[in-house]
Structures are given as C-alpha cells and as structure tokens.
Structure 1
Amino acid sequence: MFTKKIENYSDKIDFSVKSIEKGHHKVLFHGIPMIRCPFDYVIYQMLIWEVKPDLIIEIGTNRGGSAYYYATILDALGNGTIHTIDIIEMEKDQRIIDHPRIKLFTEGFEQYDIEEAKKFSKILVIDDGSHTYEDVKKSLDKFNDLVNLNSYFIVEDGIIDKLGMSKDYQGGPNKAIKEFLKKNKSFEIDLKWTSFFGKNATFNTNGYLKKVK
C-alpha cells in the first residue's frame, strides 16, 4: 500500500482565458517560439489538411514558429508554399530561413505585391499582425479576393475583447470583422472551427471566415 505523499498533486482544476493567454506566449514548435493558443494549434492542422492550400499567406511572422508549423503540415501534404509577411525583422531560426516552402517578406502587408499570389489556385490567408482595427480592416480589404471558394481568411486574436484590451487596438479584430461581413456576403463565420471546443473557445473569436460564394 502506498502511503507516501505525492508532491504537488492537487484535485483542483483552475484555468481561465487569462491563464491560457499567459501560457500561449510560451508555446514552442520544434523549439521555435510559436505563440499559439492550444485550441487553435489543433484546429489549424485540421483546417489546413481539409483545405489543402497551395499558398498560405501569413501576416505577422514574428519569430517564425507558426510558419514552420504550417510548413511541416504542407510537407505532409506534399504541396504548398507559405508567404509570411512582417514589418519587424526578428531573429529567425535557420530552419525557417532554409525551408523550401517558406518565403519571407519584410516590408509589411501593405507593400506585398498581390501578383506574387496570382499563380496559386487555393489560397488561405491568416492575419496575425498588429490586431489593430485599422490594420485588420486593411488586410481584409486587400486579401479577401485572393481567398478561393471553401478556403478561409482567418483573423487572429479577437480574444483581446475578452481580455479587456480592445481599446488598445482601436476596437480590434472583431470590430473589423463585423464591418467586413456586413458589406461582404461572400464570407461567413464557420462555427465548425470557432466553436469546435465550445462557443468561441478559440483566441480567434469569430475569426474563421469561410468563403462560401
């Protein structure tokens, strides 16, 4: 019979959006900073596998962990390229620089030449940039026409509303999403992903926008 006390054992279960937000800053992929909510970490690989894009446009490279994650999924699919865009050049792991599926753009999304994407036939766009209302609005306006039927424009980090931070971002992603959907009927929020783990149990609240027509 075991009588020895197990150190640090607890029957208590206690977590919140804020505790997940704190932890998500520490998420790594193959040792590279990724900064991803665990729910979305899982959702992305399912969504990419389903859509099978031949181009992923990512706004917001940061340290490159997400781009590297997407690249490994595309490796498994045997096809696809990533155009990852930022305006701040941060130190990158050499594996990101050398990966044949990843192309880095460092002059910001407003300077990205749409012609770079014209040769691709199935495009997925992910906005993980500044999260300000103005920037999200601009990226939606610029890139939405590139998204193919049944693919997605994913707007990240609408969770800032729940965290009480939306004022710091001029209203943030959700304000831009609402305005965009009012004038653009080609997209709708895909509840399959936003509510996969519970209603808006994602850091991309209302942000999985599927092109339906």
Structure 2
Amino acid sequence: MSLLKKVFNQFRSANVNSDIVFQTNLKLIEKAHHQTSYRGVTMVKCPFDLVLYQMIISEVCPDLIIEIGTKKGGSALYFADLLRNIGCGEVHTIDIEQAVDEKVLKAKNITLFEGGWQNYLLENCQGFKRIMVIDDGSHVYDEVLAAFEKFNKLVSVGSYYIIEDGIIDQLNIKKAWYNGGPLKASLDILDKEPSFVFDKKYNDFFGPNATFNPLGYLKKV
C-alpha cells in the first residue's frame, strides 16, 4: 500500500474531513522567515519576497546589486547565484561588521564592505550600468531616508530601489527607535521623488500587500 493511501485511510478511519484547509497567519510567516536559509546560510527573508526577487533580477538583469545589511550573507549569496545563473552582475553587500558564512567568502561575485552604508564609496559603482539597491539595514525612518538620498541616483531607469520590512508596522513592531520605519519612509519618498513609482505588480503579486516590503518596490522611471 502506498504511503499516500495509508495517510488517506487514516483520515477516513479518524473521521477527519479529507478536504484539508490551508491555514497560516502573519505571525507564523514572521517566525518562519527568521529561520529561512539559502544553501545552509541564514538569510531572513519572506518566501514570497524570495520569489519576487528572482523575477525582478531576471527582468532587470542588473550588473550590480548593492545590498545594505548583510547579516550572515544568505541573501547576498542568493542574489549572487541568481546573477551568475543569468550571466550578469555582482553583489556589493554592506554592513557595520561582516560575520558571514564561508560560502559567502568564497563567492567570486560578492564583495563585502564594512563600516556601514555611510562609509561606502560611490566610486565603487563606477563602470556599472544597471544598478539595483536593496535596503535591509536598520529600518529606522531617518536612516532609510538618508540611505535613499545617497544611493537613489545610482539606480538605472527600469531598475529598483527596494526598501525592506515595511511589514513591521503590521507586526506591531513600533519601537520608538524606528521613528515610523520603512513604510513611512517609502510614503515620503513616493510623495517627493517623481523619478520613482510604486510597483503594484510586485507589491500585490500574491495578493494586496502580500509581501514583507509593502510600498517598498520602488521602480525608477
């Protein structure tokens, strides 16, 4: 007897409805995203956004992704592999201090920068034509705006400046030091910066705001 048939018979014998209903909630997704890894390296990304990232990277084919916030380097490794698979690009990943996995250190198309985004030299971007920026840094409102002010002009038309974790509002993570956080920063940017638009296609791909980066997919036009 097949395993599937055994499981089905157990349902029937227990008088359990065989129409299994998909159930989850935002708190469960948040808990799981802290345990998400790529090639065994911690990456702390919502699975929905991982799918969106591979679609965006395939669409834009950037020759440089600047990532603010490295942690263990799982997302940098993911981005670097995606770029290598489509034959273009490298990753500059920035943090205050780097404590990354050995796999990240060995990746030929990842360059690590310490000292925080404030000390990243824009000269490092010379020679790159299609640039994407991902801010997964402190999530403090003032710092999100300051990082955008520094990096947004690097983003090429048709590419993206992505501000992560606006979801912290909905998760009720409203600690004083966020000062409104990424969501407030995205709203202010969209209100004041006409060269960027809110990309509803990716924001609502899995349903309205079914992303950890609501209002965070900003496209350069």
TM-score range, shorter chain: over 0.9
What do residues 73-108 of structure 1 show as CA deviations (whole Å, max 9, x unaligned)? 111111211000000332x22121121100000110
SS in 2 for 1:188: strand
Distance change (3 Å), C-alpha of 1:55 and 1:11: same
Give the aligned CA root-mean-square deviation in angstroms: 1.9
Partner of 2:164: 156
Query: What 5-or-longer segments of structure 2 have no aligned partner?
Result: none
Shift of the alpha carbon at 1:10? 8.9
User: Percent identical across equivalent pairs?
Assistant: 49
Shift of the alpha carbon at 1:13? 3.2
Query: What 5-or-longer segments of structure 1 have no aligned partner?
Result: none
| CA–CA distance in structure 2, aligned partners of residues 199 and 176 of structure 1 | 20
Partner of 1:70: 79
Q: TM-score, normalised by structure 2?
A: 0.90
Shift of the alpha carbon at 1:12? 4.6
- The 8 Å contact of residues 37 and 44 in structure 2, kept in 1 or not, is answered as yes
Shift of the alpha carbon at 1:4? 5.3
Partner of 1:104: 112
| CA–CA distance in structure 1, aligned partners of residues 161 and 47 of structure 2 | 20
Query: Of the two, which has the highest radius of gyration?
Result: 2
Shift of the alpha carbon at 1:190? 0.2
Partner of 2:204: 195
- The 8 Å contact of residues 187 and 215 in structure 2, kept in 1 or not, is answered as no
Task: Report the residue type matching 1:49 in the other structure.
Answer: S
| CA–CA distance in structure 2, aligned partners of residues 68 and 156 of structure 1 | 17
Partner of 1:80: 89
1:1-213 equivalences in 2 (<5 Å) = 5=10, 11-90=20-99, 92-168=100-176, 169-212=178-221
Task: Report the residue type matching 2:10 in the other structure.
Answer: K
- The 8 Å contact of residues 98 and 112 in structure 2, kept in 1 or not, is answered as no
